[in-house]
Structure 1
Amino acid sequence: MKSQTQPYRIAVFTPHIDGEYFGKILSTISVEAQTRGSQLTIIQTQINHPHDEPNEHPVFIDQCDACIVILDGIGSSTAQLIAQTGKPVVSIGHVQPDIDCHSILIDNTGGMKEAVLHLIDHGHREIVFVAFTHQQDQMERFQAYKEALAERGIPYNPKLVCYVSDNLQGEERRPYLCSWRVVFTLPLSQPVQTVMPSDSYPPGMNIMQELAENWRS
């Protein structure tokens, strides 16, 4: 039986521990855990996310009281081991296919569709979609992007879609982004009317300024 003086121990399995997305989630979890007197242990399960498979070593499962999984932070075998313990699990940003647990998800479909329809209703027709579509939330947003175009009778143009190898912004996107007037790059981090920036940019790269100068020219 758990001692009343022993803190509630939560294990967080995450592909990454820094950056705009993972950093904000982890810092928020940490604050909430401290507020409630809980002990937090964060386990990074990938080195080169999103290209790596999660590490399948079941670290800290026996020592924790509950688990939080961010995106695809665990693999199938680890998920099954956690399920066998009967400990509560919460998944963030991902539906875990191998374990019955609660998931915290955003309305990717509704949010993206509303944004695209807003741009179309303001007269925009050539709307570029730039994303790493192997991630669950981005696939949902991509489908909503196409549904919004169809709803307004605009044919889907695959030439306006830029598939990238990860979900971070890089120098190789610069010429493509600056050649269009309306661009979606994902994940969405700020609700900007015509451009939605990605998680991060290389040092010295100001894509927002470059886009603005390109549009004025």
Structure 2
Amino acid sequence: MAKRVTMQDIADELNISKNSVSQALTGKPGVSDATRKQVYKTADKLGYNYVPKGSQANDAESAVSGNIGLIASEFAFSMKSFFGEIYLTVEEEAQKQTKNLLLQSINKKSEESLSLPSFLKDRSVDGVLILSHLNNDYIQEVINTGVPTVLVDHHHPNIEADAILTNNRFGAYRAAQHLLELGHKNIGYVGNVDFSPSYQERLEGFLLALKDYNVPVNEEFLFKDAREEDDVINRFIEQLPKQPTAWFCVNDGLGYLVNSGLKQLGIHVPDDVSICSFDNGQLSQLSTPRITSMDIDLKLFGRTAVNRLIWRMANKDEPCQEILLPAKLVPGESTSKAVSTAPSKVAD
């Protein structure tokens, strides 16, 4: 099977950046006419498929379908309590804006083979929202079609697109600040920083709060590759030689598991230890006690994403921006003033 030609192949052939190739093929400013012609010539030589910037492209761009697309991984679509609410608001806002919403779930095979939805291949949408994270090459492939694109709850330094994001650093800072002002100085962190940029940013906000309050970081308390599995969380808690007096968890699922794991060890929340999580979703609300959590306005996410996409469709050459939405602390019963001594495991 012949190797698939990519923009990077064209860039390597001409000794220019991949971004310059993208700008040339999509008709964006930033490259000279001579470079643009060289890119077209090399793309034709190597057999790269693209829509030439000419009468066909201009006709496609001038036509308005009234459709916008939304794509997401199968995993994101399965997270009904979080991304589901964003999607429903996107659908509602699209209707208000007299737009038809077309959906496409992206499975792993399509993601790895960079297989785009048919509505992008035939340019039957005027813009597209990418909900949560797909791999960078896939997102770039979407952007390379020239269809205006807005990312929702995801971003990366190498991706040039508008992004609608939670202010994760400030939100995590506020969560840690809440625990610090209750007198906690031994605070654990639980999250997988490799799973999502959001979780890395929440770690950074957490650490910034500790720094501002002159509280030293205890590396033993940082669980930075935590999987959302009860046995994984329980083992981490149990192996600690000394227990934190509080935990900050990057999402409610981990907060729920930490709460359950502490109970199994006979450590009581909030009498012995406090927990604060992020998202203020069903799991934080169903936990006993209810977990203090940072609330994300998911409806605002959806409305902002649609409005930004419609703006982008009318302003294709304007600089890309990241729009940060606030998170608000919602106190539960899982946080209280620090006890004078750290909790210890109850003897079997």
Is the TM value for this pair above 0.5? yes
Answer yes or no: is the 8 Å Cα contact 1:69–1:89 preserved in 2. yes
CA contact (8 A) 1:13 1:70 kept: yes
CA distance in 2, matches of 1:53, 1:209: 38
Partner of 2:78: 18
Q: Relative to total residues, which structure has the larger helix share, 1 or 2?
A: 2
Report the equivalent of 1:33: 94
Q: CA deviation at 1:163?
A: 3.3
**What residue identity is the alignment partner of 1:110?**
F
Is 1:110 the counterpart of 2:170? The answer is yes
SS class of match (1:113) = helix
Q: Which residue of 1 aligns with 2:207?
A: 146
Q: Deviations over 1:135-163 (max 9, x none)?
A: 10110110111121122221111211223
1:56 matched residue in structure 2: 114
Under a length normalisation based on structure 2, what TM-score does the superposition of the two structures give?
Answer: 0.49
Distance 1:74 1:197 in 2: 24
Q: Against the structure 1 CA distance between its residues 180 and 17, is the aligned structure 2 distance closer, same or farther, given a 3 Å change threshold? A: same
1:12 deviates by: 1.2
Deviation at 1:97, TM superposition (A): 4.7
Choose which of 244, 247, 250 in structure 2 pairs with 1:183. 247
State how 1:149-188 maps to structure 2 within 5 Å: 149-166=210-227, 169-172=228-231, 173-174=233-234, 180-187=244-251
How far, CA to CA, are the matches of 1:14 and 1:161 in structure 2?
30
User: Could you say which residue in structure 1 is the equivalent of 2:147?
Assistant: 87
Matches within 5 A, 1:38-49: 38-46=99-107
- Structure 1 stretches lacking a partner, 5+ long: none
Change beyond 3 A, Cα 1:87–1:122: same
Distance 1:47 1:130 in 2: 27
Alpha-carbon shift at residue 36 of structure 1 (Å):
2.5
Please report how far the alpha carbon of residue 91 of structure 1 lies from its aligned counterpart in structure 2 after TM superposition. 0.7
RMSD, aligned CA: 3.6
Q: Would you say the 8 A contact 2:127–2:149 is kept in 1? A: yes
8 Å Cα contact 1:113-1:147 kept in structure 2: yes
CA distance in 1, matches of 2:247, 2:163: 30
The structure-2 alpha-carbon separation of the partners of 1:99 and 1:176, relative to structure 1 and needing over 3 Å to count, comes to closer
Give the CA deviation at 1:99: 4.3
Would you say the 8 A contact 2:136–2:159 is kept in 1? no
In 2, are the aligned partners of 1:70 and 1:92 still within 8 Å (CA)?
Answer: yes
Q: Which amino acid aligns with 2:230?
A: E
Q: 1:100 aligned to 2:100?
A: no
Give the Cα–Cα distance (whole angstroms) in 1 for the partners of residues 221 and 132 of structure 2.
27
Q: CA deviation at 1:17?
A: 0.7
TM-score (structure 1 length as normaliser): 0.74
Equivalent residue for 1:124?
184
Letter in structure 2 aligned against 1:100: E
Alignment size in residue pairs: 200
Q: What CA distance in whole angstroms lies between the structure 2 residues aligned with 1:84 and 1:64? A: 14
Structure 2 residue identity aligned to 1:116: A
SS at match of 2:82: helix
Structure with higher Rg: it is 2
